[in-house]
Amino acid sequence: MRWKVSLSTVSLLALGASACADDHATDLHASIAAHYDSELEALFQHFHQNPELSFMERETAARLASELSDLGYDVTENFGGTGVVAVLRNGEGPTVLIRADMDGLPVPEQSGLDYASTATQKDIDGVMKPVMHACGHDMHMTTLVGAGKQLMDRKDDWSGTLILIGQPAEERVGGARAMLEDGLYTKFPKPDYALGFHVWSAFPGGLIHVPEENAFSSADSVDITVYGVGGHGAMPHVTVDPVLIASQIVVSLQTVVSRSIAPKKPGVITVGSIHGGTKHNIIGEEVHLQLTVRANDPETRTALLDGIDRIAAGTAATFGVPEDKMPKVVRSPTETTPPTNNDPATARLVEAAIVEAMGEEALVPDGRINGMGAEDFAYFVTPESGVKGVNFRVGGAFEEDLDSPTIHHAPGFRIDPEASVIQGTEATVVSALALFEEGAD
């Protein structure tokens, strides 16, 4: 479905297109737009052209830290690896944390943008890879700086403590946990509220969607090593072919989704990588599979993960794999995150603040997501933490891309920075102001 919304309409949402927008809201929008023209556009392009991979965002973090320090924040660098923590204490009141992630992806950019990335970087596995911001983290950092400036400039409008986070390694779903393990909630004021946001290439540029409950799915990385008995390709009857076994496992894994979980419970098992063998006429000894697993609730997550173990072992046994060569299934202890669930009451408060300041027109008419993206923002707002969290989406599509949106994590991914940064910044600022007011009651 395509929304008939022009970018010019989006850019006017808070400039008086809604008759209920007051002068204060219009002033905020105008100030953000001016900041975008003078500084944020260039900052976005800098981040876009200079992406860095997970846990290796050294130059990115240094630039983000410099921007926040120049605004007057007390900045700590190299926290939880390459993380950035910026603090502004502004009297008595609640503590609000706003988080943006920093890492790019090992993807060669083919967006056609004038400022496309040509960067390469040796990853933590030692392999040189192309790098691009194929998921919009350049927009997230730019928006964080934009919101940081507006909240600094409006200190008279709120009271409490503001914490701005530049988080590493969201793409490996490990950066949030690393910052928390380094003492984020003990060495700095623990937040009462945490705000996050994610640009979304399928939504019109600048429109906002605030999920009331589930915002993102869980994610688990799983590795399977399939073993066989190698030999000559022309004599398969005296071998146990791991390529054939692995191929059957790939197909059979989809029965876990279709036959092991309830029909109305979403779940995904994707095999993102398969490698094995050395030569046309050689049956090898091993095949390696890399999987990502997604769910929205703990029961479905457990069923999917247990199903992978069952399918791998059962398929191998069917093909006569010896007991001492059964598949090895390893769930990553680091590339894992539970679902991100918004606090419903806080989500309603945030959406109401956005509507009051920006108008009903600022919301996506239908915010349903056809996919199961994951976010390690979940670690900041676990039930055990007591932190009330909201993660909302900001539309990023160019108008010409609405009929066929660009796909996250793909070489052709691109977003409209002007619409998404300006509207995303405004939504973040009014949400934070509402949370400071709510927490002061």
DSSP secondary structure letter of residue 321: -
Q: Pick the closest to residue 196 from 390, 44, 339 (CA basis).
A: 390
Q: Is residue 29 within 8 Å of 15, Cβ to Cβ?
A: yes
CA distance 96 to 134: 28
Residue with tokens 């008759």: 19
What distances in angstroms separate CA 362 from CA 21, 135, 200, 394, one per listed residue?
A: 12, 22, 14, 10
Q: Give catalytic status of residue 27 as yes or no.
A: no
CA distance 368 to 241: 43
Amino acid at 233: G
- Burial label for 288, CB within 10 Å (0-12, 13-18, 19+), is middle
Q: Give catalytic status of residue 170 as yes or no.
A: yes
Q: Pick the closest to residue 160 from 78, 89, 60 (CA basis).
A: 89
Q: Pick the closest to residue 398 from 160, 201, 133 (CA basis).
A: 201
Q: What angle do CA 82, 87, 91 make, to 5 degrees?
A: 170
103, 171, 297, 399: the catalytic one is: 103
**3-state class (DSSP) for residue 316:** helix
Read off the tokens for 249.
């496992």
CA distance 59 to 62: 5
Q: What is the largest CA-CA distance in the chain?
A: 81
CA distance 344 to 352: 12
DSSP secondary structure letter of residue 398: -
CA distance 84 to 61: 6
170, 416, 418, 438: the catalytic one is: 170
φ and ψ at residue 268, rounded to 5 degrees: -140, 135
Q: Pick the closest to residue 342 from 217, 198, 191, 213 (CA basis).
A: 213
Q: What is the DSSP track for 120-175?
A: EEE-TTS-EEE-B--SSHHHHHHHHHHHHHHHHHTGGG--EEEEEEEE--TTTT-H
Question: What amino acid positions are annotated as catalytic residues?
Answer: 103, 170
